[in-house]
Amino acid sequence: MLDKPIDQLVKADIDELVTEEISERRDFEYKQLLPGNSDGDTKEFLADVSAMANSSGGDLVYGIAELKDGSGQPTGLPASADGLAIANLDGELRSLTWMLHSGIAPRLTRFELRAVEGFARGPVIVLRVHRSWAGPHMVTFKNTSRFFARSATGKYQLDVGQLRAAFIGNESLANKIRDFRTDRLARIAAQEYPVPMTSAVNLVLHVMPFASFDIEESIDITAVASAKPQDLRPFGATGWNHRFNVDGFLTFSSGDKGSYAYVQVFRHGVIEAASSFAVIENGETGKPRKKFLSASWIESQVVDFVRLLLGMYEKWAVGFPVAVSISILDASGATIPYDSFMWPEPPPPVDRDLLILPEVILESSTADVPLLMRPVFDAMWQAAGHKGSKSYDQAGHWTPKQ
C-alpha cells in the first residue's frame, strides 16, 4: 500500500513508483487497464479486490504498464505511468463502485477510489482496499462463489482448510477483544491501577483497534507522547501529568493525594480511559446517602474524547475499525434522576454492580460518534429505568446537556 493517505496522492507520487522501480508486493499491484466489460474481466477484478480485503489490504494502481522479461512475462516492476484513456471518468468510477457493491459478499464497505490527473493518456486510478474484519469475502458475480486471498506472489483461491481457518480467525478476534476487556475490568475491580487513585474507578472506556489483536501490532509510543496535551486529557481533569510506563504511555490527573482519572495508551494501540466521577454519593448529614449515575456527564466526556482519539489514530497509522466499549463499576443502587418533579415515584436504581454496556464499531476517523454511540447511551439510561438517553432531540440529533 502506498505510504500516504489516498486523498493526498499526486502525480509525483505515481511517477516515483516508476523512477524508483517499486515492485509489486502483497499489498500493491499494477494494472495497465481497467477491467473490461466481459464477465471474465469482472470476475478477475472482483477476485483481485476480495483477495486484498481477505488478506492485509492494499492498493491496485490502474494506468501503469508493467515491465516484461525476455520471454514476455510480467516482472512486477513498472515500465511507465501513462494513465488511462477515459472519456467519462465519473462513469468509470461509478461502474467500479457498483461492481464492488454487487459482486462480493459480505458487501465491502471499506474501499476508496482516487483519480490522479496529469498523465499522457489520462488519469491514473488508485483503488485502495482496506483489510476487512467482516470476511472472508466471497466473489458472488454470476454465481461464482469463490474465496481468494493474497500472498507476495499474487492472489490464490482458498481451499477448504484455509477457508475454515479464515472463519475461525474472525471468531478468535472477537474472543480476544472480549477477553482483553474482561481482564482489564477484573484488574480495575481489584484496584490494580497504573497510578494511585484517590477513590475507586467507576467508569472505564476502552477503544480497541481490531488490528491490535490480530498480529503483534505496536505503535510509536514516542509519537503518542508528542500529541497535544488536551488530546489525552483524563475525564474531567483540569490539570494532569504524563509519563511512559511498561504498558506504553499514561496521562493522569494531578493532585496531592492521588489521581481521580487516567488515560492509558497501550503499546498495541488500545486505549483505556478511566474515572472516579461516574458514580457519586451525597446526602444530608445524618441521613442515608444517595448514589447517582452521572449519565449526561459520561456521554459528553466519551463523545469528546473518542472524537479526538479517532483523529489521533489516523496520525499514528493505527488501522480501523475500532471497537468502543463503556463499563461502569459500583453501579448497583445508583439512579439517574428525572429532570422533572412531575414523576410520582423516584427512578429505579441500577440492579447490578458491574454495568457492561454494548460495544459499538467505528469504521473510520470520520465516524459520526454521537450517532453510533446512541445505542450504548440508551442502554445506560435504560439500566436506570429511563426510556433512553436524554441527550438527543426527537429527531435523533445530538443535543447534550451542559
* pLDDT tens digits along 115-125: 999 999 999 99
Give the C-alpha separation, 173 to 332, whole Å.
31
Residues 133 and 71: beta-carbon distance below 8 Å: no
**In the prediction, which pLDDT does 256 show?**
75
* pLDDT tens digits along 207-229: 998 888 865 557 888 888 887 76
Ordered domains of the chain (ranges, CATH): 6-158 (3.30.950.30), 176-382 (no CATH)
Give the C-alpha separation, 93 to 201, whole Å.
51
pLDDT greater than 60 at residue 284: no
* pLDDT tens digits along 71-86: 888 888 999 999 999 9
Residue 112: count other Cβ atoms within 10 Å of its Cβ: 13
Q: Which residue has the higher pLDDT, 41 or 346?
A: 41
Q: How many residues does the chain have?
A: 402
Give the C-alpha separation, 299 to 331, whole Å.
16
Strands of the 146-151 sheet, one edge to the other: 104-105, 138-139, 146-151, 154-157
Q: Which residue has the higher pLDDT, 319 or 98?
A: 98
SS3 306: helix
**225: amino acid identity, one letter:** A
Mean pLDDT of the chain: 88
pLDDT greater than 90 at residue 16: yes
